[in-house]
Structure 1
C-alpha cells in the first residue's frame, strides 16, 4: 500500500514539473581557468546565455554544465576527455583557448566519436581529421585562413616589406608558421625568418629577441602569442628606443587573459598594435534588437555584466553564444533519447545537416557545417575569412573592432 501511495505521489510530482522525468544532459566546459581565465569565463557566459533562452531544457531534458580547468596542461585535458567519454550523462565537450590539447588528442576524440565544440582554439588541423570520421566542430577563427588574413593586412594595409614571424614554440605556433610562410610565398615574398619563444618568456629575453629581429632588417612583426607572453613582448617593445619600435600585427591569443590589466595605457600607446577578431562587437556604434536582447539576457544572468565592456575576452562570449545556438538547433532537429552516446552520434549528423537557419551575433548560419571528408577540409568550420576583422585596444582597454569599410 505504501509503495502504491509513493508511486502515485511521484507520478503527480513528475506530471506537475516538480521533479524532472529525465536525467540531465551535461555539457563539459573545459578550458584554462588558471592562466587565461578571461577567455574561459567568457566562453562559459556565452554558452549559458544561449541555453538560458530555452530555459536550460531541451525536449524535457534539463541541461547542466560541468566547468573544468586544465590549467594549460594537455595531459590534464586528456584526463578530462576520458572522464567525458566515460560519463553516461555527458553530451558535448566544449574546448577553450588552447589548441594544443585538441591537436594532441584529436585522433582520440574522433576515434571515440566524442562530440566536441570549439569556440576559440584556432589551430588549423583541429577540425581536419585524418579520415572521414570527425566529431569536432569549430565556430572560431581558423589558422589556415587567419595566417593569410594577417599577412594581407601587414603587406597591403601596414605596407610592411620585410615582416618577421615571432611565434610561441607550440603546435599552435608551428601551425601558424606554416600557414603564414605559405601566404607570404604566395604573395611573391621570400620565405620569412622566424623567431621562436617558449611559454614564460621574461622581459629581458623578449627585448633581446626584438633587438635581433630589428637588426635583421624587419619592418613589422607578425606575432602568435597568448596573453601572458604577449604582455611581456609588447612591454618589451614599448621600452625600446622610439625609432626602433616596430608595428605588431598579432593573432588574437593576446585577448584571452589580462593583457590590458597588465600592460599600461602608456605602454600600449607606445606600440602600434593590431590584432584579428571576428566581425562583431557589443561596442559597435549601432546594435540591432537581437544583439541588444542577447546582452540584456547576459546582464540578467551574470552580476558582473552591467555594460557592454564588462564582457572580457569578448570573442569567447560571441563565438560560444553563436555555437551554442547552432548546437541547440541541432538538438531540436533530433529526437533525444536516454542514451547520450546515441545522442552524440545523432547530433554529429544533425550538425552536418542542419535544416533551420540559426540567428547569431556574427551572422545568420545557414547550414554552417557539412558532412566531413578529407577532400573537404573546411566542412566543420562555421566561419571563414569574410568573418575576420582587425581590432585595437582603446585607452580603457576595450577591444574595438574595425568594420570592413575602415
Structure 2
C-alpha cells in the first residue's frame, strides 16, 4: 500500500462508502444552511491520485467562494463526497444518495467513464447537473438526453486522439500502433483514430495495427508493444491507466535503442502514482502525454493560490510535480462556474441552475478564458486547441512542450 497524504488518510479512515461532508466555517456563516456540491470518485482505488486532485480543486474553489461571502446572500457552499470504488453500480447508488439531498445543486464525477456513463440515466431522472473534470468518454456529454444535464471542463477522447496524432505527425513519423484496453474506452479511441486518419488531407499517417490489453491488468501489454514494432510501427499511441502504463514504460526501458519507439499517451496514465510506479525507467523512454491543464500556464491570482495549495497538500516542492494536476484546474473552474450559475439562478433549483449554466457570462478561469464555457448546444468547454502535449523532465515534472505558447 502506498503512503497516502494526510487528507487521503482522513477520508479513508472514515470507514464508509457513504456520504462524507466537509465542514464549513460556522463562525462566518452562522446558521445559514449550506448549499451542497457533490463529488463521487474512486477514493479507495489503490493507485489513484485523480480523486484527491479533483477533490482539492473543488474544495479550493468552494473555499474561495465562501471567502467572498458564499452564494445567495450569504449561504456557504459545502462539498459532500462519496466513494464509488471504481464500480458503476456503486456509482449509481451514490448518485441516488446525492440526488435525494435537499439543496444538492450538482456533482462532480471521477476518473472512470464507465461509472459516469452508468450514472447518466439517474442524474437526468432527478435533474442533477453533472460536472465532469476528468472522465473522457464522448458519450458522457454526447448523450441522448434532452435537456442534457452533463457539462465538462476537461478533455474528451476524440480531441485527445486527434491531438496525439498531430503530435506524431509533427515528429515526422508515419506508421503508428495503438495499445488500448479491450473495453468501450479502448474501442472508442480506436474509432476516433481511424476517423481522424480518414479525414486527414495529407494522408501521411497510417495505423500499423491495434493491440488490446485488459483494463486493470498489466499482463501481456509488453507483448502487444513488441507485436506492433514487428508490424513496422514507428510510434505507439497508448490508452491506459497508471498501472498498465508504468508496466509498459519499464518494459520498453529494458529494450535496445533499436526497439524503442516514442509513446504518445492518453492522460489516463497521469491519474495515479505513475512516476512512482515507473521509477528510473521513466527517463529511458520517449513519452509524450496529453493534458487539459498545467500549472506551467497559470498566471492569474486564483491559479497561483491554487498552485500553492496543491504543492502544500501533496507535499511537493514544485507545482509541476503535483500528481493528477490535470484534474485540479478543471475541478476548480467547474465549481466556480457552478457558483456563478447558482447566483444567476437565484436558487438551488436544479432546473434553474441547468438553465444558468447554459447562459453564463464570460469567465476567466485557471484553465483558460471561457466566453462562455457552455451554451444550450455546447456542453464541452474545451476544444482541440486547448490540448497540451507534455513530457516528464529529469526532475519528474510534467512540462508542456511549449511553456510559452
**TM-score (structure 2 length as normaliser):** 0.85
The answer to which of 220-229 and 156-165 deviates more is: 156-165
| Equivalent residues in 2 for 1:71-86, closer than 5 Å | 71-86=85-100
Q: Is the 8 A contact 2:311 2:322 kept in 1?
A: no
Distance, in Å, in 1 between the alignment partners of 2:277 and 2:217 is 15
| Equivalent position to 2:50, from 8, 25, 39 | 39
Measure how far apart 1:163 and its partner are: 0.6
Instruction: Provide runs of 4+ in structure 1 moved above 6 Å.
Output: none
Measure how far apart 1:179 and its partner are: 0.6
Distance, in Å, in 1 between the alignment partners of 2:207 and 2:29 is 65
Task: State the SS of the aligned residue for 1:274.
Answer: strand
- In structure 2, stretches of 5+ residues that fail to align are 1-26
Q: Is the 8 A contact 2:61 2:336 kept in 1?
A: yes
Task: State the SS of the aligned residue for 1:58.
Answer: coil
| Equivalent residues in 2 for 1:66-105, closer than 5 Å | 66-105=80-119
Flag the structure with more relative contact order, 1 or 2, with Cα contacts below 8 A and sequence separation at least 6: 1
Distance, in Å, in 2 between the alignment partners of 1:254 and 1:91 is 31
Distance, in Å, in 2 between the alignment partners of 1:222 and 1:104 is 27
Q: Deviations over 1:154-183 (max 9, x none)?
A: 1x2222221111111222222211111111
Q: Is the 8 A contact 1:391 1:401 kept in 2?
A: yes
Partner residue, 1:158: 171
Structure 1 residues 310 and 398, CA gap change in structure 2 (3 angstroms): closer
Structure 1 residues 170 and 109, CA gap change in structure 2 (3 angstroms): farther
Tell me, yes or no, if structure 1 residue 269 matches structure 2 residue 283: yes
Structure 1 residues 66 and 207, CA gap change in structure 2 (3 angstroms): same
**TM-score (structure 1 length as normaliser):** 0.85
Structure 1 residues 402 and 27, CA gap change in structure 2 (3 angstroms): same
Structure 1 residues 353 and 257, CA gap change in structure 2 (3 angstroms): same
Partner residue, 1:234: 249
| Equivalent position to 1:334, from 345, 348, 353 | 345
Structure 1 residues 404 and 62, CA gap change in structure 2 (3 angstroms): closer
The answer to which of 323-332 and 381-390 deviates more is: 323-332
Tell me, yes or no, if structure 1 residue 318 matches structure 2 residue 332: no
| Equivalent position to 2:209, from 176, 193, 213 | 193
Q: Is the 8 A contact 2:303 2:366 kept in 1?
A: yes
| Equivalent position to 2:62, from 34, 37, 51 | 51
Distance, in Å, in 2 between the alignment partners of 1:213 and 1:63 is 50
Q: Is the 8 A contact 2:177 2:236 kept in 1?
A: yes
Structure 1 residues 17 and 261, CA gap change in structure 2 (3 angstroms): closer
| Equivalent position to 1:245, from 260, 263, 277 | 260
Tell me, yes or no, if structure 1 residue 347 matches structure 2 residue 375: no
Q: Deviations over 1:182-213 (max 9, x none)?
A: 1122223556522111123335x122221111
Q: Is the 8 A contact 1:274 1:390 kept in 2?
A: yes
Partner residue, 2:304: 292
Distance, in Å, in 2 between the alignment partners of 1:108 and 1:253 is 26
Task: State the SS of the aligned residue for 1:110.
Answer: helix
Measure how far apart 1:21 and its partner are: 3.4
Distance, in Å, in 1 between the alignment partners of 2:305 and 2:215 is 39
Q: Is the 8 A contact 1:26 1:63 kept in 2?
A: yes
Two-structure CA RMSD over aligned residues (Å)? 2.3
- In structure 1, stretches of 5+ residues that fail to align are 1-15, 373-378
Structure 1 residues 193 and 309, CA gap change in structure 2 (3 angstroms): closer
Task: State the SS of the aligned residue for 1:134.
Answer: coil
Measure how far apart 1:244 and its partner are: 0.6
| Equivalent position to 2:35, from 25, 32, 37 | 25
Q: Deviations over 1:242-293 (max 9, x none)?
A: 211111100101111000011112x112211101112x43245x84545324
Task: State the SS of the aligned residue for 1:65.
Answer: strand
Structure 1 residues 210 and 294, CA gap change in structure 2 (3 angstroms): closer
Tell me, yes or no, if structure 1 residue 361 matches structure 2 residue 359: no
| Equivalent position to 2:191, from 157, 165, 178 | 178
Aligned residues: 372
Distance, in Å, in 1 between the alignment partners of 2:314 and 2:212 is 41
Task: State the SS of the aligned residue for 1:201.
Answer: coil
